[in-house]
Structure 1
Amino acid sequence: MRCTRCEGLMVVEDCLDYKGNKDEFWIKAMRCIACGNILDPMIAQHRTHGPAEIVSINRKPNRRAPRTPVARLSA
């Protein structure tokens, strides 16, 4: 398999997944030996389906302070 970033050689590597399922701490991932790009099943799924919408609950929109006018300097 070839790397999608640099076309380098991808090798199988065992990776420790701390936030995965409780039953699966070790996952098989592909790592590029040239650039270090890692591709695991979760990364592949996110790239296939696109980013999920982030839903925020009870979050107020960012409000900027009113801008004060800047005096023009005469030359």
Structure 2
Amino acid sequence: MHCRRCDNLMFPIGLQDWGGGHPPYDVEAWRCFACGDIVDQLIAENRNRNSADREDYRRQGARRRANAIGLLR
């Protein structure tokens, strides 16, 4: 896999949430050797959203997004 920022190689890592949030297990991600950019599945999905999806997400507002996250707990 190649980095979108600097086009160098990336290596797999396991991310951990030490704050006790979700998910409670390691998340698989990729980290760039050169610039340190980290990409996991959620970051990749957000970067691949089209402009209409981004606008709908923005219009929902921060309170709706925070409530959606709160329901997972």
TM-score, normalised by the number of residues in structure 1: 0.60
1:1-75 residue pairs with structure 2 within 5 A?
A: 1-17=1-17, 18=19, 19-21=21-23, 24-49=24-49, 51=54, 52-53=57-58, 54-55=60-61
Distance 1:41 1:28 in 2: 8
Structure with the bigger percentage of helix: 2
Alpha-carbon deviation of 1:25? Answer: 2.4
**1:46/1:25 CA distance change after superposition, 3 Å:** same
Alpha-carbon deviation of 1:56? Answer: 5.2
Larger radius of gyration: 1
Aligned residue-pair number: 55
Give the share of equivalent positions with the same residue, in percent: 33
SS class of match (1:28)? strand
SS class of match (1:46)? helix
TM-score, normalised by the number of residues in structure 2: 0.62
